[in-house]
Amino acid sequence: MQDVSTAPQALTMLSEEEAMFRDAVRDFAETEVRPHVSEMDEAAHFNDDIIPKFFELGLMGIEVPERWGGADGSIFMAALAIEELARVDASAAIYVDVHNTLVNNAVLRWASEEQKARYFPRLTSALLGAFALSEPGSGSDAFALATRAESKGDHWELTGRKFWITNGAEAGFFIVFANADFSKGYKGITAFMVERGFEGFSVGRKENKLGIRASSTTELILEQCRVPNENVLGPVGQGYRISIETLNEGRIGIGAQMIGVARGALEAATSYVKERKQFGKAIADFQAVQFQLAQLATDLEAARLMVYNAARLKDSGQPFAQEAAMAKLFSSQMADRTTSKCLELFGGYGYSKEYPAEKFYRDAKIGTIYEGTSNMQLQTIAKAMLR
């Protein structure tokens, strides 16, 4: 691991291993994902052949130790992979993001050695994961969740519904949060590792979304879902802590998604303005267009440095929650602005599905909402400043 520096240029420098990894993911995104982007978006269905290839390339166990089938890498490397995939298709990036920064991360930090040995060889080779916290009445107020967990001696029964579950249609492994003791409020919340085939578990309807349409977002239905005692993740009553600390890392992943989406949009717009002619010359020759591109590129670089910095801090064992919140907040706002301006640079064509600008615009919007809205990031940042 190279030395972590506050100098911006140090944050963008990659080791040889990191550069090779990034380039491999970039090539994969171009050859395996890009040919299917439009059809997947239109059908609102991710190509069934691609997810197994994520596993084959080693993208689904980036931070997991080699002894369990992982790459023994870093969150920085995960961010590089997510960024490169999102540059081509945000939906592809999300499968890798959620599986690594939420699911694997939670298991890595909170599971017992027996649980890790039981699940990681599958989670790094074929078993897709999902993170099930949100509910119909529990979004930003995550601790208002109503899903109930009851101990039945040799097992637990979970009853309730989960909403907005990313990867829900394809996942076979779910980290589900339920309250085991409502009298204790959020201190009753407990995390469980639930397999798709467990009795009482089913996947409900799939959301028809504005953007990231190929990424599945579903409802989960738990009807006295039977979960073995050995599948409790972490101590009973510590689910609130598990969710918060896991989402801190997840925000780095969302930041990486957003800089990838913004990169893809800016690259497409930059190429287009060189070709589009008005008043007898390419619109790239007009200073007004040049200045817009320069501002977008500057904002993108600022967001990239924030995301990379948060990742480097996490990898070096330093506090990173505030920086992750800042990175998620700024990068999602930047992506929203950048994709909107890039769409405008395409003129009327930007509003057409014939060109990529409108998809980048739709895909960017979710960044200000999921894994903590912008207001929730501001609250996190403010609390850290004022404590």
pLDDT tens by residue, 55-85: 999 999 999 999 999 999 999 999 999 999 9
Domain boundary among 91, 123, 155: 123
Residues 270, 289 contacting (CB under 8 angstroms): no
Which of 8-12, 230-234, 280-284 is the least confident region?
8-12
Residue 204 lies in a domain: yes
- Phi and psi torsions of 193, nearest 5°: -100, 110
181-191 mean pLDDT:
96
Q: State whether 377 and 312 are in the same domain.
A: yes
Residue 58 makes CB contacts below 8 A (sequence gap 6+) with: 71
Q: CATH no. for residue 141?
A: 2.40.110.10
Q: State whether 377 and 281 are in the same domain.
A: yes
Handedness of CA 232, 235, 240, 241 (dihedral sign): negative
Q: State whether 280 and 228 are in the same domain.
A: no
Q: State whether 255 and 207 are in the same domain.
A: no
Residue 1 lies in a domain: no
235-253 mean pLDDT:
97
pLDDT value of residue 142: 76
Residue 3 lies in a domain: no
Domain boundary among 123, 140, 170: 123
Domain boundary among 71, 92, 123: 123
Is 223 an active-site residue? no
Residue 22 lies in a domain: yes
Q: Report the C-alpha gap between 158 and 210 in whole angstroms.
A: 31
Q: State whether 245 and 335 are in the same domain.
A: yes
* Diameter of the chain measured on Cα atoms: 79
Q: State whether 45 and 101 are in the same domain.
A: yes
Cβ atoms within 10 Å of 195's Cβ, excluding its own: 16
Coil vs helix vs strand at 47 = coil
Q: CATH no. for residue 248?
A: 1.20.140.10
- Supply the range of the domain harboring residue 315: 241-386
Residue 138 lies in a domain: yes
Residue 2 lies in a domain: no
pLDDT-based confidence at residue 109 (cuts at 50, 70, 90):
very high
Q: CATH no. for residue 27?
A: 1.10.540.10
pLDDT at position 303 over 70: yes
Coil vs helix vs strand at 111 = coil
Stated pTM of the model: 0.95
Q: State whether 261 and 357 are in the same domain.
A: yes
Residue 264 lies in a domain: yes
Residue 46 lies in a domain: yes
pLDDT value of residue 1: 28
pLDDT at position 210 over 50: yes
pLDDT at position 370 over 80: yes
Q: State whether 116 and 137 are in the same domain.
A: no
pLDDT value of residue 175: 98
Among candidates 344, 367, 366, 343, which has minimal Cα distance to 356? 343
pLDDT above 70 covers what percent of the chain?
A: 97
Among candidates 82, 84, 104, 107, which has minimal Cα distance to 95? 82
> What is the number of domains present in the chain?
3
Q: State whether 211 and 277 are in the same domain.
A: no
| Active-site position among 135, 219, 358, 371 | 371
pLDDT value of residue 13: 80
